Structures are given as C-alpha cells and as structure tokens.
Amino acid sequence: MQQHEEKWLDYFDGEGYRAVEPLGSGMEGAVYRLDDGTVAKVWGERSAEELRRLGRFYAHLDQAGLPFATPLYHEVREVFGQAVTVERYLRGVPLDDKTFSGPEKWPTVLSCLGTVLGAFAEVSDAPELRVLPVMAEKRALWADSASWSQALSRLIADRAGRFGDQLRVKVADFDAKLSRLHRALAALDDVRPALVHGDLIPGNILVGADGTPTAVLDFGFFSTAGDPAFDAAVTASVFDMYGPGAQNTEARIDRELSARFGHDPGRLAVYRAAYAVITSNAYDPLGQDGHFQWCANMLNRTSVSEALCRAPQGC
C-alpha cells in the first residue's frame, strides 16, 4: 500500500502539485488533497468514460440551486491505466461523526435529513438527471418507460429474473409478493419526478458544526429522477441498516419526514419492497452477504406484506 501511495504522490508531484495529502482509501479508490484547494480521487474500478458521464450529472446539480455543495469534477484523467478525477473539495464532517451521536442530537439529525430531502424534491426533472445507469444496469432506468412506477417495475422484473431464485429461498411467497409489488406500483398516483439520491447514508452527508448540511456526496448507486417519497423511504431504512435499533430509527425518520412532506406509510412500504428486490444482489451475485439478508428480511416484514396486499386484486 505504501509503495502504491508513493507512486501517486510522485505522479502528483510531477504534475506540479506540492504538499499532497492522502485523505483516505476505500473500496472505490484513494483520495488525495491537492495544494490548490481541490482533491484528486484515484478510482479502482470505474472507467474514465463512466466518470465523465457522472461528471455531467454533477455539473447539472451544480446549477440546480441546492443549498449545499455537491461533487463537481474539474477534470477526468486516465493515468497508469486508472481513472483519476480532480474535483471540488467538499467541506464538513460526516453526519455519522461522533459529534452528532446520542439522543440529544436527534432533532439536529432529523432537521438535516429534512433539509436535504426537501431540497432534492425541489430539483426539477431534466434529461441530465436520467443519464446515470441505476445499479450499473446496461439499460437506462427510464428507457421506454412513460412513468416512474413503470420504470421501477421494469427494473424489478429484470433483477427478479436474474436473482429471483435466491430470493425465493429466503422470502415467503416471493412470487405472490412480486406480482403484488408490480400491481401496487401500477396503482400509485403519478408524481412530478425530482432528484433522487438513492443512497443517503449518514456518511454521504457532510455537515457543519451546527449540523447544517454543507455537502452531499456519492451519487450514482441509485441516483436518478423519481418520486421524492422513494428517497425518503430508502433513506429512513438505510440510515442505520444493521444496528440493533434499526427499525426504531427507521420509524423515527418516517415520522419526521411524513410530518414534513406528507408521505403515505403504505407508499413508503411499497418502495421499500421495490428497493429490496432491486438491490438484493447488488454486492454479491450469490446472495451470501449481509445486504442480501437485509433485503430478504425487508420483504418478509409484516408491514411490507400488508402494504402489498392492499394492491389491486389484494391477497
């Protein structure tokens, strides 16, 4: 690792940067702070072409009037066979920083989530919001779809066709639930699509000392134009996916967001079922990881089953 890091430090030095600071590394790559106020990210798997497309998405968000910053790529390079982005430095600490833990911080956390999701809901639909492939699918989410619910149904059918056999082992009456899910989505009243992040975990929200959001990052996993209630449902569920009080956390966020935006609980449950089918094998095609089990557990929930049973033709 040290040798690998030195290679990149030498590269940035050769490009005229001095005092380059490694900020961290993870599954996607490594990040370096440059001395001109930008950061460079060395990507592990993503191609330069893919990142240029993501860059166009970010350029559109930069003009959307959001009250906080989002990533902005100044340049996409190919170096040593890897993609490198030079991008805006985003200030703040993650919302999961220990500074914001504890019951007394919940009002601040909930207010922050409301601000972020409320701002996303005000971003007007545009072709630029639909350019990213959801779940790395080859077909664009909105291709040949006249509505958001139809686009989701097609993606659900694609994913269930590939991974349904694994879900059938873990999810009671999976095929019946899948049919009800399609009917439930078709019965939803249509909405004006807005910006959906789709992976709004605490680490993807940066905040200032008072908990006000300063930046939101890591779009791309499920980022598109869609129903703001979908983003609210997913955010509440993934905010604390594996903690011992996960469902209590979800319920608390649901109450806050529903009071603020008027989301129907049944609609949220339908969207959670959709998210579970779509993302079940996102990280392991064999379904042997924790995320797959989490998705199976979601589909086995009583609240989800009851919401699907309220679809046309019922249970």
Q: In this structure, which amino acid lies at residue 139?
A: R
Q: Which of 22-31, 212-221, 261-270 has the lowest mean pLDDT?
A: 22-31
Q: Find tokens 């940035």 and name the residue.
A: 12
- CA–CA separation, 70 and 61 (whole Å): 7
| For residue 4, pLDDT beyond 90 | no
Long-range contacts of 48-52 (CB under 8 A, 24+ apart): 48/76, 48/77, 48/78, 48/83, 50/83, 51/76, 51/83, 51/85, 52/76
- Dig out the tokens for 233 from the structure: 């449902």
Average pLDDT over residues 46-59: 95
- Dig out the tokens for 260 from the structure: 């603020």
Nearest alpha-carbon partner for 112 in 238, 220, 208, 40? 208
| For residue 114, pLDDT beyond 50 | yes
**Alpha carbon distances (Å) from 84 to 31, 40, 231, 272:** 10, 7, 29, 35
Delineate the domains of the chain, giving CATH numbers in brackets. Answer: 9-88 (3.30.200.20), 93-309 (3.90.1200.10)
- Which residues are 42's β-sheet partners? 30, 84
DSSP state of 134: G
- CA–CA separation, 135 and 215 (whole Å): 23
Nearest alpha-carbon partner for 71 in 11, 132, 16? 132
- CA–CA separation, 60 and 255 (whole Å): 32
Give pLDDT, residue 100: 86
Average pLDDT over residues 299-303: 97
pLDDT in tens, 235-245: 999 999 999 99
Average pLDDT over residues 42-48: 93
- Confidence grade of residue 136 (pLDDT, cut at 50, 70, 90): confident
Average pLDDT over residues 35-52: 94
- Confidence grade of residue 1 (pLDDT, cut at 50, 70, 90): very low
Average pLDDT over residues 248-264: 96
Give pLDDT, residue 257: 96
Average pLDDT over residues 287-294: 97
Q: Give me the sheet containing 82-88, strands edge to edge.
A: 21-25, 29-33, 38-43, 82-88, 73-79
Average pLDDT over residues 63-86: 97
User: Is the CA virtual torsion 163, 230, 245, 112 positive or negative?
Assistant: positive
Mean pLDDT, all residues of the chain: 94
**Alpha carbon distances (Å) from 151 to 142, 144, 146, 250, 271:** 5, 8, 8, 26, 13
pLDDT in tens, 145-190: 999 999 999 999 999 999 999 999 999 999 999 999 999 999 998 8
